[in-house]
């Protein structure tokens, strides 16, 4: 067919080829769209690594970029431990794990119920993990969990009185790794252990000024059981949904760099160098549920606009699969098995730190101490709330048992709903 078209063009002229000019006009536009899409999709992971036998703990692994990371690592033979807020008997998580196992031909996919919005839930899991002799194998921790409050929406807080963005994006990771730190330090010296933090460039707009201005102890007097839903314990200087998210990401970046120093300073009993490396991974803007919620302002009107303009978002935003490439690069690149850690990875290459204050030891120390005090106070509030809820539940049970016992007593003495029975002794005497 191409030969026929070419011969027709030579002997009969270009006008003899049907639809030639519309095609020639369309091809450049298609080429431009292709180039835009290729650029927006970002770089692909060039590295490969045998993951068989490696134990990987993942947060946020049931949707978006986290799900793509889980599928890629599982397909390479890794043993995945998903930390999910869903109950293990939840049909969603049961079906999800079954699908991952079938799609990757890997049966080593399990889950643990851990609600990242609850410090108590995190402590319960992490202490159970490290309370093991000999220490459980742990090759990698991938922190993909993320939340964002859409612009214009009300700031939410957890049951322990911590603002939700700060809790899920930062404080949950701080709490989890602080407890799991002994498990990381106890790994054999020949094991390549990596901790991957999911971050984004929005940290450039965050600030940690509130940490140096006020501490949780100074604000403790203002807290009461009536204000457990307030975000007062760590209100940023310019408090808004956007600033709350950016500040949580700046705190995560600062902590990640401090955590690498914390690990590197540990002196092993065998005198080998510390083998745990920290990575900060920026997947870029992707078509994930979180991005969709941000773009739609969390409203039905915004969702309608998003659906109508979806071709544009498909063109300029990465797919979750492409967003996972930088995570896979950080997880598998061989040269990162050596070095001091603390690398920032974006588009499958190292990037420079854009906020010098995040690397300042004074800032890192202040944030670390502030976070420890915040967790201590939040866990106390959470313990009081759980005790209160437990007492209320116990009172309801006792009340229900009392009502049931009273009902049984009335039936035994021959009464029903306070009315005399026809054949009672008093009624017979009256007759």
Q: Residues with catalytic annotation?
A: 249
Other C-beta atoms within 10 Å of 13: how many? 9
Q: Which of 294, 331, 303 is nearest to 144 (CA)?
A: 331
Q: What is the DSSP string of 113-135?
A: E--TT-HHHHHHHHHHHHS-SSP
Judge contact between 216 and 258, C-beta under 8 A: no
Give one word for 362, left, alpha or beta, with left for phi > 0 and alpha for psi -120 to 50.
alpha
Judge contact between 148 and 198, C-beta under 8 A: no
**Buried/exposed code over 225-250 (b: 16+ C-beta within 10 A; e: otherwise):** eeebebbbbbbbeeeebbbbbbbbbb
Cα angle 156, 159, 161 (rounded to 5 degrees) comes to 70
Judge contact between 163 and 155, C-beta under 8 A: yes
The burial of 425, by beta-carbon neighbours within 10 Å (0-12 exposed, 13-18 middle, 19 or more buried), is given as exposed
In 167-319, alpha helices (H): 172-185, 209-213, 216-219, 241-264, 289-295, 300-308, 310-316
DSSP 171: I
Judge contact between 248 and 311, C-beta under 8 A: no
């Amino acid at each position: 067919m191409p030969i026929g078209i070419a011969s027709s063009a030579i002997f009969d002229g270009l006008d003899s080829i049907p639809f030639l000019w519309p095609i020639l006009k369309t091809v450049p536009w298609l080429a431009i769209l292709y180039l835009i899409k290729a650029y927006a999709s970002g770089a692909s992971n060039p590295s490969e690594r045998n993951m068989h036998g490696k134990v990987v703990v993942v947060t946020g692994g049931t949707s978006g970029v986290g799900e793509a990371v889980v599928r890629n690592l599982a397909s390479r033979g890794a043993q995945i431990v998903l930390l999910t807020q869903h109950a293990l008997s939840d049909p969603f998580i049961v079906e999800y794990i079954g699908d991952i196992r079938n799609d990757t031909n890997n049966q080593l996919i399990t889950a643990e119920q851990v609600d990242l919005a609850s410090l108590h839930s995190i402590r319960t899991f992490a202490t159970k993990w490290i309370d093991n002799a000999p220490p459980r194998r742990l090759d990698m921790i991938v922190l993909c969990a993320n939340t964002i409050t859409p612009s214009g929406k009300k700031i939410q807080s957890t049951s322990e009185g911590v603002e939700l963005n700060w809790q899920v994006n930062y404080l949950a990771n701080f709490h989890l790794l602080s407890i799991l730190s002994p498990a990381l330090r106890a790994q054999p010296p020949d094991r390549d252990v990596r901790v991957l933090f999911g971050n984004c460039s929005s940290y450039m707009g965050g600030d940690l000024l509130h940490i140096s201005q006020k501490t949780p102890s100074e604000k403790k007097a203002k807290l009461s059981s009536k204000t457990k839903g307030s975000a007062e314990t760590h209100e940023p200087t310019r408090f808004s949904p956007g600033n709350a998210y950016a500040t949580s990401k700046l705190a995560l970046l600062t902590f990640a760099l401090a955590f690498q120093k914390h690990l590197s300073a540990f002196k092993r009993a065998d005198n080998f160098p510390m083998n745990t490396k920290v990575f900060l991974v920026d997947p870029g803007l992707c078509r994930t549920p979180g991005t969709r919620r941000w773009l739609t302002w969390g409203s039905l009107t915004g969702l309608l606009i998003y659906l109508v303009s979806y071709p544009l978002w498909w063109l300029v935003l990465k797919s979750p699969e492409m967003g996972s490439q930088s995570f896979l690069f950080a997880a598998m690149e061989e040269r990162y098995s050596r070095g001091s850690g603390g690398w920032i990875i974006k588009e499958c290459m190292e990037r420079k730190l854009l906020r010098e204050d995040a690397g300042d030891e004074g800032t890192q120390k202040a944030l670390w101490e502030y976070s420890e005090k915040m967790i201590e106070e939040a866990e106390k509030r959470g313990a009081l709330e759980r005790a209160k809820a437990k007492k209320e539940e116990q009172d309801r049970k006792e009340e229900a048992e009392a009502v049931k016992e009273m009902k049984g007593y009335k039936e035994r003495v021959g009464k029903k709903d306070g009315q005399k029975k026809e054949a009672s002794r008093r009624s017979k005497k009256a007759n």
